[in-house]
Amino acid sequence: MQELGRLEDLPEDYRAELTAQNLVPLWPSLRTVLPPVKPAIKTQPICWPYQAMRPLLLKAGDLTPIEKAERRVLVLANPGHGLEKMQASSTIYLGMQLLLPGEWAPAHRHTPNAVRMIVEGSGAYTTVGGEKCLMERGDLILTPTGLWHEHGHDGDKPVVWLDVLDLPMIYYMEASYVAEGQAQTVTDEFTDQAYLRGGVVPSPVFVRSEQNFPMLRYPWLEVRTALEILARVQPDMEAVQVTYINPETGADSLKILGLSALMLRPGETLSLPTRSTAMVFHQIEGSACVSLQGHQFNLSEADTCCVPGYTPITLKNQSADQPAFVFIADDAPLQKKLGVYEVRS
C-alpha cells in the first residue's frame, strides 16, 4: 500500500491556516480511518468473574441506598475503550445490577434498548410497558426503546441481573436521553405465556405486537428445554444454538442487539467462524472455556466475558458429562442492517 504524506510534511503556516478555518487534510489520517483488510479494534478480550464482582456489588448495597442510585449497577467496562466510557464493546454496554428485598427502582423510559439476563435470586420483577415480568435465574427480559420500566423486589434475598444495552451506539448517535415517570399500572401479567409454543402464535395477533415487541420475557426453562430437544433431534447440527426472536415476525427481537443461547454438549469443542461482530458470553449453567489468540477465559456460572470482532473463537465445555449453557449478545442485527456484517473463513 502506498505510503501517504504526513502532517509534518506540510509547512507549519499552511497547517495553521487550515486549523483557523476548521479544515483538516485527509491524507495523513486516511490509513487510520481506513486500515487495510481489518478494522482497528479497541475492544479488548476481557473477563469479569462473578465471584470477583459479587462482593463489590453487595458492598454497593451497603454503601449506596437505592434512592441515591436509581439503578445500583457496577458497569463491566472494557479498558480498551477507557473505563470511563462504560463500554464493553463499541456498541454494547454491560452492567451488573443489584436490587435488595423491598427496594424499588423507579419508572423511567429512554431511547437505548436494554435486556436483562437474571443471574441470582428470585422474587423480583420488572414492569415493562405495563407488563409485570417475573425475574428468575436465566430469564431474558427485553426493555425495548421507549417503554416505561421499573423494578421491584418482594423476595427475601438479593437479586442480581446482567444488563445489556446498546447505549454506546445510541449515545454515539447523540440520541440517548431519559424521561422520568410515575409508577406504572400493571395491565398485563404472564403474557409471555402467549408465545411459548413454537410454530403457533395467538390469533388475532396479540395486542402488544402493535408496538413491534410482542414478547418481553423469555423464561430460561423454556429456552433450556428448546436447546436440549434440538440437541436430541438434530444430533448432526454443528452448534446447538437458539436465537431470541420476535415470534410474530421471526426477526431478531431487538433492532441493534443480537441475542442467543448456546448449548455445548458434554465434552464438546466448538469453533466459531470469524465474524465482524464483537461478542459477549455469559455463562448461565455449567462451565465453558472461551479461547482466542493469546487469551483463555474459563467461565464458571454467572461469569461474563467479551471478545472483539474479526477474531476466531473456540468454545469448549469443561465438563465431560454435563452440558454447558451460554448466553451470547452481539450487534449482528445492526451490522446486517448496515450491510457491514461479515463472516470470514
Nearer to ligand 1HN, 60 or 226 (CB): 60
Tell which residue, 51, 71, 48, has the closest CA to residue 61: 71
Window 178 to 197, contacts with ligand 1HN (CB under 6 A): none
| CB 205 to ligand 1HN: min, Å | 28
All three cell numbers of 323, joined, read 452440558
CB nearer ligand 1HN, residue 113 or residue 291: 113
Residue nearer to ligand 1HN on the CB measure, 165 or 240? 165
Stretch of 49-57, 161-169, 229-237, 334-342 lying at the interface with ligand 1HN (CB under 6 A): 161-169
Read off the C-alpha cell for 211. 408496538
CB 264 within 8 A of CB 323: yes
The span of 59-67, 104-112, 247-255, 333-341 binding ligand 1HN (CB under 6 A) equals 104-112
* Smaller CB separation from ligand 1HN, 71 or 255: 71
- Please report which residue ranges of the chain form alpha helices under DSSP H: 12-20, 30-33, 50-63, 167-172, 220-233, 332-338
- List 243's β-bridge partners, or say none: 260
Site string for ligand 1HN, 58-97 (x = CB under 6 A): -------------x-x---------------------x-x
User: Is residue 343 within 8 Å of 299, Cβ to Cβ?
Assistant: no
Which residue in 53, 88, 115, 167 binds ligand 1HN (CB under 6 A)?
167
For ligand 1HN, the closer of residues 93 and 281 by Cβ is 93
Instruction: Identify the residue among 72, 149, 153, 316 touching ligand 1HN (CB under 6 A).
Output: 149
Question: Can you tell me the distance from the alpha carbon of 118 to that of 15, in angstroms, rounded to the nearest whole number?
Answer: 54
| Angle at 29 (CA atoms; ends 24, 30), nearest 5 degrees | 110
Which H helix or E strand runs over 118? strand 114-120
Closest CA to 99 of 80, 123, 75, 79: 123
Q: Are 122 and 129 in contact (CB under 8 A)?
A: no
Residue nearer to ligand 1HN on the CB measure, 117 or 288: 117
CA-based end-to-end distance of the chain: 24
Determine contact, residues 228/285, Cβ cutoff 8 Å.
Answer: no
Residue with smaller CB distance to ligand 1HN, 114 or 332: 114
How far apart are CB 95 and ligand 1HN at their closest, in Å?
Answer: 5
How many residues contact ligand 1HN, by CB under 6 A?
12
Q: Cα–Cα distance between 8 and 78 in angstroms, integer?
A: 33
Contact between 165 and ligand 1HN by CB under 6 A: the answer reads yes
Q: Contact region for ligand 1HN (CB under 6 A) — 105-113, 207-215, 267-275, 309-317?
A: 105-113
For the bound state, the minimum distance from the C-beta of residue 230 to ligand 1HN, rounded and expressed in Å, comes to 31
| 101 versus 312: smaller Cβ distance to ligand 1HN | 101
Q: Which residue has the cell 426472536?
A: 245
Residues that bind ligand 1HN (CB under 6 A): 71, 73, 95, 97, 105, 110, 112, 114, 149, 163, 165, 167
